[in-house]
Amino acid sequence: MHTRWREAEIPVFSVQVEGRKRGRKKMTELQIVHSPIVTYSSVIALLLLCPPFVIFVWYTMVLADGSVLLTIDHFKEYGYQGFMNKLPQPSLIAFKIIACFAVFEAALQLALPGKTVQGPVSPAGNIPIYKANGMAAYLVTIITYISLWWFGVFNPAIVYDHLGSIFSSLLVGSFFFCILLHIKGHMAPSSTDSGSSGNLILDFYWGMELYPRIGKSFDIKVFTNCRFGMMSWAVLAVSYCIKQFEQNGRVADSMLVSTILMLVYISKFFLWESGYFCTMDIAHDRAGFYLCWGCLVWVPSIYTSPGMYLVNHPVNLGILTSLSVLAAGLLCIYINYDCDRQRQQFRQTNGKCLVWGRPPSKITASYRTTKGEVKSSLLLTSGWWGLSRHFHYAPEILAAFFWSVPALFDNFIPYFYVVFLTILLFDRAKRDDDRCASKYGKYWKLYCNKVPYRVIPGIY
């Protein structure tokens, strides 16, 4: 998450949040990055526009030959009611496919062994505990899925054939799932890191709980973000390959390059899963429509769109072009991984490590917690993190471009994910900077003076 939806959390204005546990009430702050009008308008717009856009992308990819203009022409030709009649509806088979996948992933999350890791200390002083078994779950999922096809038990092409109904069913099911999360946040929060803003729409959108769990072991955000969202990305990528093979008797090199890059990127995600538990998604974003619906619906529908397009638009790149795109994409994924590895090693060793063969350059920044305690953090200013403050976003965006570019340039729609990711990550870099400036104060100014560029060295 990757790839991924982010909660605005920078203090431009703040609303009081009331947390409840065992009858006690605790006041904290839910901090929002934009003005109230911009925030409310954006929230309502996303709630209303994102669900139909998912179906729009599917329709354009599958029924309109990948052309947005042709989709518009269809709307004009059929009229509103005729066009609506052509849109996919939730179906029993779609719900069965989703339910089987969800139950399987939930079982793997609970049953597979994994290293016990601690998340960062929460604003309320809690330290969440996780079982990092994502890589094992990923391997079991892919091997099982391909084996079911290989031995004739289940044909993944069926997933593509019912893709519209699956997305429609996810839209409905995920909406009700978010309602249940909202009710749980009010009635039975899992920890003191929960509360209400006093605004129903904001509570539903941002979420009530930071670490919602079922019992002590089943973390809901890990399930939605990692086990369902990222895993569905991999499963659908494989499904698109198999569908193209069954249609054409072969898999085009363009599809192979795109799929390999996506699967390598997802492998990198699960290999680094314990580090993901410390990111903004898990440590700062609450479990609401914004995060959970995004992972349950937006990731499988939008993140997989280059492969969805290539099913009916096989492109023969040739060996040289294929290998060049593949090598460039793999390099970007490696750099993105090495950025995270470098920072994680720096944190784990408290700065006592080598960065690019040298002792790291760093700034010791002190800050005050919400409880008034003074603590310190080390800010890495060398290696990849000396090039820009969020350099790891640059290779991530480029990697997305390289698994989209095998579609070539006949239509824009295969590149929507790249555009979306670029806007998302640049906006996140801005908000993360604002959050750190609020947290570290003068030390962040010192850091920005030493590392002046936000994402792209020498440019931005």
Q: At which of 282, 315, 348 does a domain end? A: 315
Q: Residue 12 above 70 pLDDT?
A: no
**Which one-letter DSSP state was computed for residue 223?**
I
Q: Residue 73 above 60 pLDDT?
A: yes
378 falls in which pLDDT band (50, 70, 90)?
confident
Lookup: tokens for 2: 């990757």
pLDDT in tens, 349-369: 888 888 898 898 888 888 776
370 falls in which pLDDT band (50, 70, 90)?
low
pLDDT in tens, 16-44: 333 333 333 333 344 455 567 777 787 88
Query: 171-205 b/e with 16+ CB inside 10 Å = b?
Result: bebbbebbeebbebbeeebbbbbbbbbebeebbbb
Q: At which of 254, 284, 315 does a domain end? A: 315
The C-alpha atoms of residue 448 and residue 428 are separated, in whole angstroms, by: 16
Residue type, 262: M
Are residues 122 and 80 part of one domain? yes
Are residues 269 and 328 part of one domain? no
Are residues 250 and 385 part of one domain? no
For residue 380, which phi and psi values (nearest 5 degrees)?
Answer: -75, 130
Chain mean pLDDT for the chain: 87
Are residues 403 and 271 part of one domain? no
Name the domain count of the chain. Answer: 2
Are residues 169 and 65 part of one domain? yes
**Angle at alpha carbon of residue 119, lines to 113 and 122, rounded to 5°:** 145
pLDDT in tens, 274-312: 888 888 788 888 899 989 999 999 999 999 999 999 999
> How far is CA 108 from each of CA 133, 163, 390, rounded to the nearest angstrom?
8, 24, 33
User: What is the full DSSP assignment across 368-381?
Assistant: E-TTS-EEEEEEE-
Are residues 127 and 67 part of one domain? yes
Lookup: tokens for 48: 């209303």
pLDDT of residue 454: 92
Helices (DSSP H) in 359-415: which residue ranges?
384-387, 393-404
Q: At which of 315, 342, 366 does a domain end? A: 315
Give yes or no for a contact between 426 and 393, defined as CB atoms under 8 angstroms apart. Answer: yes
Residues in the chain, overall count: 460
The C-alpha atoms of residue 222 and residue 204 are separated, in whole angstroms, by: 19
Residue type, 305: S
Q: What residues pair up with 21 in beta bridges, in sequence order?
A: 24
pLDDT in tens, 315-331: 999 999 999 999 999 99
Mean pLDDT of 193-203: 85
pLDDT of residue 198: 81
Are residues 157 and 174 part of one domain? yes
Are residues 400 and 295 part of one domain? no
Query: C-alpha dihedral over 253, 258, 264, 268, to 10 degrees?
Result: 170
What's the whole-model pTM score?
A: 0.86
Are residues 388 and 375 part of one domain? yes
Give yes or no for a contact between 213 and 328, defined as CB atoms under 8 angstroms apart. Answer: no
Are residues 437 and 455 part of one domain? yes
371 falls in which pLDDT band (50, 70, 90)?
low
**Which one-letter DSSP state was computed for residue 203?**
H
Task: Report helix, strand or coil for 411.
Answer: coil
**Angle at alpha carbon of residue 430, lines to 428 and 436, rounded to 5°:** 100
The closest alpha carbon to 429, from 400, 453, 449, belongs to 453
Q: What percent of the chain has pLDDT over 70?
A: 92
Are residues 359 and 270 part of one domain? no
Give yes or no for a contact between 29 and 195, defined as CB atoms under 8 angstroms apart. Answer: no
Q: Residue 3 above 50 pLDDT?
A: no
pLDDT in tens, 121-165: 887 778 899 999 999 999 999 999 999 999 999 999 999 999 999
- What residues make up the domain containing 49? 1-315
pLDDT in tens, 42-62: 788 888 999 999 999 999 999
The C-alpha atoms of residue 450 and residue 365 are separated, in whole angstroms, by: 14
Burial of 403 (0-12, 13-18, 19+ CB in 10 A): buried
Q: What percent of the chain has pLDDT over 90?
A: 60
Q: Residue 66 above 60 pLDDT?
A: yes
Are residues 247 and 334 part of one domain? no
pLDDT of residue 257: 97
pLDDT of residue 9: 33
Q: Determine how many CB atoms are found less than 10 A away from the CB of residue 409.
A: 8
pLDDT of residue 248: 94
pLDDT of residue 92: 96
pLDDT in tens, 402-457: 999 999 999 999 999 999 999 989 988 888 888 888 888 888 999 899 999 999 99
The C-alpha atoms of residue 69 and residue 288 are separated, in whole angstroms, by: 34
Lookup: tokens for 40: 């409310």
